[in-house]
Amino acid sequence: MTATTTIDEAARPKQRPGRAGFALSQKQVWGLLFTAPYIAVFLGFVVFPVGYAFWLARSPHLYVELADDPIFLRTVINTLVFLIVAINIKMVMALFLSGFFAHKRWWVKVLAVLFVLPWAVPSIPTILSIRFMLNPEWGVINTLIFRLTGDDGPNWLNDPALALSLSMVVHIWKSLPFWTLILLAGRLAIPHELYEAASVDGAGRWKAFRYITWPSISTLYVTCTLLSMIFTVGDFNSVYLLTGGGPADLTHVLATLGIRYLRLDQVGLAMASIVCALPLILPLVFFMMKRLSK
Amino acid sequence: MRGVSTEAALLLVGIPVLLWTLIPIYHMFLFAISPKDAAFSGQLWPTSPTFRNFEIVFGQKHHFLYNFWRQMFNSLVISIGTAVLTLMIASAAAFAISRLRMKGGRLVMNLALFTYFIPAAFLAVPMYKTMGMYGLLNSDWALVLAMVTVASPYAIWILRQASDKLPVELDEAALIDGASPFQLFRLIYIPLMVPSLIAVGTYALLLAWNEYLYAFLLLSRETAITLPVALGNFLSADDSPWELLMTAGFIYALPPAAIYYAFRKYMSSGLTAGAVKG
C-alpha cells in the first residue's frame, strides 16, 4: 500500500509535462463516467432514504413518545449489554482461536475449513435449528436434561435475561469464524523469525504472545472490535429469529425495534429510534473512517 | 514429552470447537432425515432415517412449500443479479479511484466507506419506504438494488486496495500506445483483477442468497419472495411442520457452503487482505 503510493507519487511528475492539461481533463471525464453508476446507487438508495428518514423523524413529539415507551429504554440497555458483553467475549475467543488455527497440523486445517460453516451458510435455518434445540417441551436440550436428571429444563426463551444471553451466543456462533480468520491472517503476517529468536532466548508461550504477537496485532484487534460493534448494532437476525423480541418485547435491540415499529405502522417512531442510536454509532464510524481511509 | 502435551492441549481446544461449530448444523440435518415427530427424541441418529422429507420438499407436497422451486429460483436470480451488478459498479468505481486517480475519487471512497458503516438494519426501514415510493416492492429489482447498495461499498474498498497494488507503469505504457481509459479498463485492468473480482463476486452472491431482513421487508407476495422469507413464514403458524422447515433450510444452506468452499482460496486472500491493513 505505502510502497505503491510512493511509486505513484514518483511517477506522476514525469507524466505531467506537455499533455498534462488535456490528459487530466480527459481522465476526469472518464473518472466521472466510471463512478457514475455507484454515485447513482448512492444517491438513490442511501442519500434519499436517509434524508427521507430524517424528515420522517423530524417531529420532537416522536422523541417524547419514544422516551415514554418502556420498551425503548429496555431496548437501549439491551443493545449496550449486547455490544459490550457479546463483542468482547467474541473477540477474545477469536484471538485465542486464531492462535489455535495458526498451528500447522492436517486436522487443524480440516477443522478450520469446517469452522467457517456458520458464517458461510444462511442464518435462518441455523438459528431456527438452535431455536428448536431450546424448545422447552420437545427441544433436544431439555430432553437430554430430563433424561439425565429427571427434572424439567429451564424455559430458555421465556426468561428475558436468558433469552438475550442466548441471542448473544447465537451472534457469537455466527460471526466468530469471520473475526477469527481476520485475526489469523494478522498473526500469519508476523515474521516467523521473531518467534524463533524468542524461543532461542528461552521465552515461553505466554512471553512470545505478550512481547511479539500482541504488539503486532493489537491495532488490528482494536479495529476489528470497533468494526464488529458497528456491524452488530445492525444485527437483526440473532435476536429476531431466536426470540422475536420476546418474551413481552423485553429482548429487543435497536436493530429489531425499528422493524417492530414499522410492522406496527409507526414509521415515525421507527425512524426516531434509529436517530436516537446515532450518537452511539457516529463517533465509532468517524473513528473507523479515519483509520481505514488512510 | 512436551510434544505430547501440546497435542493434548490442541485436542482439548479442537474437540469443543468442532462440537460448537457443527451441533446446530447437525441438528438441522437430523431433523431433515427423521420421520415426522421422531426428530425430538434426542438420539444421535434416527432409528429409521428417511428421505421422505426431501421428497415432500422437492415435490412441493405441503401447503407451506407450494412455491418452493419458484422461491429457490427467485433467490438464484436475485443473488446472481446482485453479484453481476455489484461487480460492474464496484470495479468501475475502483478503477476510477485507483487507476485514473480522478479528482474527488477520495470523496467517493469515503462516501462508500460511510455507507459500509451504516448498520444494515437501520438502513432497512428507510429502504423499505423508498422502494415503496419507487414502486419496486415485490419485484426482484427491489432486493437486487438494496443488496447492491449494501455490498458495493465493501466491494469498492477491497477492489481499490487490490488495484492500488498493480504497477502504474502498465497504465502508462497502455496510454502511450494510444489506449483509451475504457480499453485500459477492459483489456488490462479487468484481466489482472480476476482473483479479487472472484472474491468480491462470491461475497455479493452469498450476501444476497443469505439475506433475510431486506428480503422479508421488500418482498411479500408468495411467488415473489426468496426462500428465507418463506422459511420465516413457517414461524408465524402454530401447526408448522418443523421437519420440513429444517429440510428446506438444509437444502438452502448447501449452495452457499459449496460456493464458499469452491472459492475459498480467493475469499480468504481477497477479503481478509483488506481488513488486515487497519
Cβ of B130 within 8 Å of Cβ of A48? The answer is yes
- The percent of residues above 90 in pLDDT, for chain B, comes to 46
Domain count, chain A: 2
Residue B219 has pLDDT above 90, yes or no: yes
Cβ of A52 within 8 Å of Cβ of B126? The answer is yes
Q: Once rounded to an integer, what is the mean pLDDT over residues B75-93?
A: 96
Tell whether A244 lies on the interface with B, counting CB pairs under 8 A. yes
Cβ of B14 within 8 Å of Cβ of A107? The answer is yes
Residue A4 has pLDDT above 60, yes or no: no
Q: Quick one: A104 and A38 in the same domain? A: no
Q: Which of residues 48-87 of B touch A (CB under 8 A)?
A: none
Q: Which of residues 32-91 of A touch B (CB under 8 A)?
A: 32-35, 37-39, 41-42, 44-46, 48-50, 52-53, 56
pLDDT at B39: 60
Q: Minimal Cα–Cα distance from A232 to chain B, Å?
A: 8
Cβ of B93 within 8 Å of Cβ of A45? The answer is no
Q: How many Å is the Cα radius of gyration of chain B?
A: 23
Cβ atoms A35, B92 nearer than 8 A: yes
Long-range contacts: B260-264, Cβ < 8 Å, 24+? B260/A116, B260/A120, B260/B202, B260/B206, B261/A113, B263/B198, B263/B199, B263/B202, B264/A113, B264/A116
Cβ atoms A29, A244 nearer than 8 A: no
Whole-number Å distance between alpha carbons of A253 and A245: 8
pLDDT digits (tens, 9 = 90+) for A168-196: 999 999 999 999 988 998 898 888 888 88
Q: Quick one: A47 and A183 in the same domain? A: no
Helix (H, G, I), strand (E, B) or coil at B260: helix
Using a CB-CB distance cutoff of 8 angstroms, which residues of chain B are in contact with residue A35? 92-93, 96-97, 102, 105, 108
Residue A1 has pLDDT above 50, yes or no: no
Segments forming the whole domain that contains residue A47: 1-56
Q: Quick one: A111 and A187 in the same domain? A: yes
Whole-number Å distance between alpha carbons of B56 and B222: 18
Q: Minimal Cα–Cα distance from A267 to chain B, Å?
A: 8
Residue where one domain finishes, among candidates A40, A56, A72: A56
Whole-number Å distance between alpha carbons of A153 and B276: 44
Q: Quick one: A143 and A228 in the same domain? A: yes
Q: Quick one: A88 and A1 in the same domain? A: no
Q: Once rounded to an integer, what is the mean pLDDT over residues A117-133?
A: 91
Q: What would the grid cell of residue A26 be?
A: 480527459
Residue B17 has pLDDT above 60, yes or no: yes
For helices B68-98 and B140-164, what crossing angle results, to 10°?
30
**Is residue B238 very low, low, confident or very high in pLDDT (cuts 50, 70, 90)?**
low
Cβ of A285 within 8 Å of Cβ of B117? The answer is yes
Q: Which helix (H) or strand (E) holds A179?
A: helix A160-188
Cβ of B92 within 8 Å of Cβ of A37? The answer is yes
Q: Once rounded to an integer, what is the mean pLDDT over residues B96-119?
A: 89
Q: Quick one: A48 and A74 in the same domain? A: no
pLDDT at B234: 83
Using a CB-CB distance cutoff of 8 angstroms, which residues of chain B are in contact with residue A126? 24-25, 28, 249, 253
pLDDT digits (tens, 9 = 90+) for A12-52: 444 444 444 455 577 788 889 999 999 999 999 999 999 99
Q: What would the grid cell of residue A116 be?
A: 467457517
**Residue A26: C-alpha distances to residues B17, B101, B104, B130, B182 (Å):** 56, 12, 15, 36, 12
Residue B220 has pLDDT above 70, yes or no: yes
- The percent of residues above 90 in pLDDT, for chain A, comes to 40
**Is residue A79 very low, low, confident or very high in pLDDT (cuts 50, 70, 90)?**
very high
Residue A5 has pLDDT above 90, yes or no: no
Half-sphere exposure in the Cβ direction for A87 (13 Å, CA): 20
Domain of A250, CATH number, reads 1.10.3720.10
Cβ atoms B162, B196 nearer than 8 A: yes
Q: Minimal Cα–Cα distance from B202 to chain A, Å?
A: 11
Whole-number Å distance between alpha carbons of B150 and B172: 34
pLDDT at B40: 61
Domains delineated in chain B: 2-50 (no CATH), 66-276 (1.10.3720.10)
* CB nearest to A237's CB, from B28, B130, B212: B212
Whole-number Å distance between alpha carbons of B82 and B93: 16
Cβ of B130 within 8 Å of Cβ of A45? The answer is yes
**Is residue B275 very low, low, confident or very high in pLDDT (cuts 50, 70, 90)?**
low
Cβ of B256 within 8 Å of Cβ of A223? The answer is no
Whole-number Å distance between alpha carbons of A1 and B162: 9
Cβ atoms A216, A190 nearer than 8 A: yes
**Residue B51: C-alpha distances to residues A34, B55, B119, B247 (Å):** 51, 6, 40, 10
Q: A159: which DSSP letter?
A: S
B178: left (phi over 0), alpha (psi -120 to 50) or beta: left
Q: What would the grid cell of residue B218 be?
A: 421488500
Using a CB-CB distance cutoff of 8 angstroms, which residues of chain A are in contact with residue B105? 31, 35
- Count of residues making up chain A: 294
- CA torsion A70-A89-A275-A246 (nearest 10°) is -40
* CB nearest to B108's CB, from A30, A39, A258: A39
What is chain A's mean pLDDT, rounded? 86
Q: Minimal Cα–Cα distance from A31 to chain B, Å?
A: 5
Q: Quick one: A47 and A115 in the same domain? A: no
What is chain B's mean pLDDT, rounded? 87
Long-range contacts: A180-183, Cβ < 8 Å, 24+? A180/A93, A180/A94, A180/A97, A180/A98, A180/A101, A180/A115, A181/A98, A181/A116, A181/B268, A181/B272, A182/A94, A182/A220, A182/A224, A182/B272, A182/B275, A182/B276, A183/A94, A183/A95, A183/A98, A183/A217, A183/A220, A183/A221, A183/A224
Using a CB-CB distance cutoff of 8 angstroms, which residues of chain B are in contact with residue A53? 125-126, 129
Q: Quick one: A40 and A124 in the same domain? A: no
Q: What would the grid cell of residue A160 be?
A: 428475558
Q: How far is Cα of residue A114 from the mean position of the Cα atoms in its chain?
A: 21
Q: What would the grid cell of residue A204 be?
A: 515461553
Q: What would the grid cell of residue A100 be?
A: 489455535
Q: Once rounded to an integer, what is the mean pLDDT over residues B155-169?
A: 88
Q: Quick one: A78 and A43 in the same domain? A: no
pLDDT at A124: 92
Q: Quick one: A144 and A175 in the same domain? A: yes
Q: Which of B265, B253, B240 is nearest to B64 (CA)?
A: B240
pLDDT at A23: 55
pLDDT digits (tens, 9 = 90+) for B21-69: 999 999 999 888 888 766 666 677 877 788 888 988 888 888 888 889 9
Cβ of B246 within 8 Å of Cβ of A293? The answer is no
The H-assigned helical ranges of B102-241 are 105-116, 120-134, 140-164, 168-176, 181-183, 190-192, 194-210, 213-218, 227-234
| ipTM for the complex shown | 0.89
Q: Quick one: A111 and A1 in the same domain? A: no
Q: Quick one: A27 and A84 in the same domain? A: no
Cβ of A262 within 8 Å of Cβ of B246? The answer is no
